[in-house]
A and B are shown apart, each in its own frame.
Chain A
Amino acid sequence: MRTIWIAAGLLALAAPLLLPERHLAVYVLLALTAAVAVGVSMLMGYAGQVSLGQASFYAIGAYAAGLLAVHGLPPLVGLLAAPLVAAAAALLVGAPLLRLRGHHLAFATLAMQLILLGLLSRGEWAGGAIGLQGIPRFSAGGAELRDDRGYAYLALAVLASVVLIYRNVVVSRVGRAMRAAATGEAAAAACGVPVGRYRLAVFALSAAFAGLAGGVYAFYLGYLSPGSFPVLLSIEYVVMAAVGGLGTIAGPLVGATVITLLVQALTALGTQPGMPGYAPAVLSYAVYGLVLVVAVLYLPRGIVPSIHSVLGRGKR
């Protein structure tokens, strides 16, 4: 297991140097997506809750970083503020929302994202529907990040720190308590686990992951619009987390990688000359839909746990 992690880490480190420039955008987006998916996997696996609004926190982080930078603060401040603002927003909306369960919570988070999109697309301060323009490039200590290679490493650093935090939370006392709460809430509460508070904490932490990734996204693109954060994006994160395996560390990474590369390959196919203009959209909707249905019905625990049990290591 350890060797696989080291190999994957080395591959991730080497890839930006080996990949041609035009493929680096996929790498950056993949790393950022995986960072958000880790948060969703944690939320679903440890708080037992489906959030259909995780892209809201990605958007909040992106807009927080973008707005601060546009108004003249150093980009580093913007990037550090992104996860904090997202977590604060999660605490604010999570306190009432997390009283809800199951499909109620799913709808509530969906509603939350639609409200946010409405506010962003009409808020003059956020650039409205046209979007927030002119976000400077990321810089820290006088060094400015210009090329995609730099952003690839920044995104990788974000992903690595998110995975490390996730790992440390999981093995901690809180992580074990959360797992207990996800399996049997009443039993965990009877054992003295403050279920409500832990659930809110996990919600805020997963939002912080998304916010941090969103911050990098803002500097990488230099431009934000409400249209970049559709409800579909939130669903994509759920697909990735569920397909990879909930509550595992490798699961969201595998899920994000498999699905992002699959969709990229199909988009490349869909944009071939001769294909109709709507082909990429059709293909990606079909992939997300099919993958979600097939995974839930035939691979309910996800890719990573299934591989584990095939290899005979029943350890989850």
Chain B
Amino acid sequence: MTELIGYLVTGLGIGAGFALVGSGLVVTYRVTRVVDFAQGGFAVLAAMLTASLLSAGLPHGAAETLGVVAGAGAGLLVGVAAIGRPGTAPGASLIVTLGLGLLAYAVEILIWGDQPRSFPGLGGAVEIAGARVPTHYLLIVAVTGPVFAALAVFFARTDLGKALSACASNPYAARVVGIDVRRMGLLSFALGGALGGLAGVLTTPVQQVTFDSDVALIVNGFAAAVLGGLTRPGAALAGGLLLGVAQTVVAGYGGGAYRLEVALVVLLTVMIAQGVRTPPAQEATA
């Protein structure tokens, strides 16, 4: 029983990371209909940069913030390349983000080498119902909760958030009422980059990163996001937490090697179930 509680808490921490990556995908997709394959790369970039800044003597907090800002900047750059040219189809944009993800590998290896990196997070452990859990997992959950609350308020209550949502549901109407659809798209890429960066900065102390960690991150993040049809950040949070807990429990009870496979099977099952429910009727409106 105490084991299970330990798995649950660490699972929530891991899952919060997936949820952040997934919500980054959701934010970008909501506004631009582009799935950003470089999303996992923002996490890696932010984590690597933070590790370097910390070892250069920057205090915690400042280094992490700069990491997230770098993630947002990288997101903006990817956005400029992916949707900056007028008339780029979402499918082509997807391929562009894929290419930029590869390019990021080259840059990351060049700057940080190809060895795994990490940096210390919150030290110590706390006891929850008899289970010892590293404190850092609680920090992850404690940061992720307010971030998602803020996202929800942002999209539902602010003009900017509503303008962002309007771009996706009807780009033409959004343009008519004076919303700069392209700028909103770029903003969504930057926001996605920041969320990805936050995921990387938060989870690196408990999971090392290498330049190609983004594959696992993007797959898990996509699996989390796909539960809500890629448009609802709240569903991405639920999906991410569920996935994190499922993986940790599977890993804890002996299937440690099959963590990623758990996510993949969940991903495939959900996608196929959704694909069956929604026939491809909307191709003409794209």
Contact = CB atoms under 8 A, between A and B. Distances in A.
B95 A292 contact: yes
Interface in B76-115: 81, 85, 88, 90-92, 94-96, 98-106, 109-110, 113-114
B230 to A, nearest CB: 9
Contacts of A281: 105-106, 109, 114
Interface in A219-253: 231-232, 235, 238-239, 242
A186 interface: yes
Contacts of B280: 101, 185
A73 interface: no
B265 interface: yes
A278 interface: yes
Interface residues of A, number: 42
B59 interface: no
Chain A, interface SS category: helix
A288 B264 contact: no
Interface stretch (A80-88, A109-117, A162-170): A109-117
A99 B102 contact: no
Contacts, number: 122
Nearest to B34: A103
Contact of B268 (A106, A108, A235): A108
Contacts of A300: 92
Nearest to B113: A278
Contacts of B268: 96-97, 108, 111-112
Nearest to A113: B264
Contacts of A115: 261, 264-265
A48 to B, nearest CB: 9
Nearest to A288: B102
Interface string A93-107: 000110111111011
Contacts of B113: 278
Contacts of A50: 91, 94-95
Contacts of A291: 99
Contacts of A99: 272, 275-276
A186 B283 CA distance: 9
B258 A289 contact: no
Given A101-B280, A104-B275, A286-B103, 4 more contacts: A281-B109, A285-B105, A289-B103, A289-B105
